[in-house]
Structure formats: structure tokens, C-alpha cells
Amino acid sequence: MKLREIAHSRTGDKGNISNISVIAYDTKHYPLLREQVTSERVKAHFAGVVEGDVVRYELPNLSALNFVMTQALGGGVTRSLALDAHGKSLSSALLDLDIEDNPSP
């Protein structure tokens, strides 16, 4: 299934850094997010967009992850050549990530 089925997401911007929250609709899916939505996968998913690092922060109280992606906004919101200079649409792209329902033990 797609990440979209179990989580919602919002993108924020500061300078050339984009952050994307990934929040489980249901607390029971938080472990799936932790296991499968890794920094490495997010970095790979945004090949060609994110040139820097992807750092993940965990918020168990909210069943949420927060990804901070550097060099992600075409040189910075205020100078980017991109149509979506803020990267507001990145959250929707991340929800297209494939998630295994029953990951093998």
C-alpha cells in the first residue's frame, strides 16, 4: 500500500531547508512508519530534488516523524527558479511511498 493510506503529511520551508512531517492516522501504524519510512528511503525518494542530508526526528507522543532535508529548495525559497519555490507540494510526493502491510519478521 501507499504511505498515503496510513499517514498524513505537511511541508514547511526555511531558507534552503524543507521539513516534512509524516503523521500516522492511527497510533497502531506508528511502528510501521518508524520501520519503513527511514531517512535513507526519503532521500532516495527525492532523488534529483534533495541535494543534502535527510535527518529524521521521532515524536512518539504524536505518532509522527519529522524529516529535515537540507539543500532541498533550489538554493532557497527566496531565490529558487522552481515553480513551487517553497516545496509545498513535496509532502504529497512523499505519501506516494510504498509501505509493506505485513513486513516479514
Residues at the contact surface with other proteins, assessed by CB under 8 A: 4, 8-10, 12-17, 19, 21, 23, 25, 45-49, 57, 59, 61-62, 64, 66, 68, 75-79, 81-84, 88-90, 93
The C-alpha atoms of residue 100 and residue 73 are separated, in whole angstroms, by 30
Query: How far apart are CB 58 and other proteins at their closest, in Å?
Result: 9
Which residue, 27 or 100, is less far from other proteins as judged by CB?
27
**Least separation in angstroms between CB 30 and other proteins:** 12
Comparing CB distances to other proteins, the nearer of 70 and 105 is 70
> Minimum distance from CB of 21 to other proteins (Å)?
4
Q: By the 8 A CB rule, do 94 and 22 touch? A: yes
Alpha-carbon distance of 49 to 36, in angstroms, equals: 21
Q: What is the C-alpha separation between 25 and 32, in angstroms, rounded?
A: 12
On the CB side of 52, how many CA atoms lie within 13 Å of its CA? 16
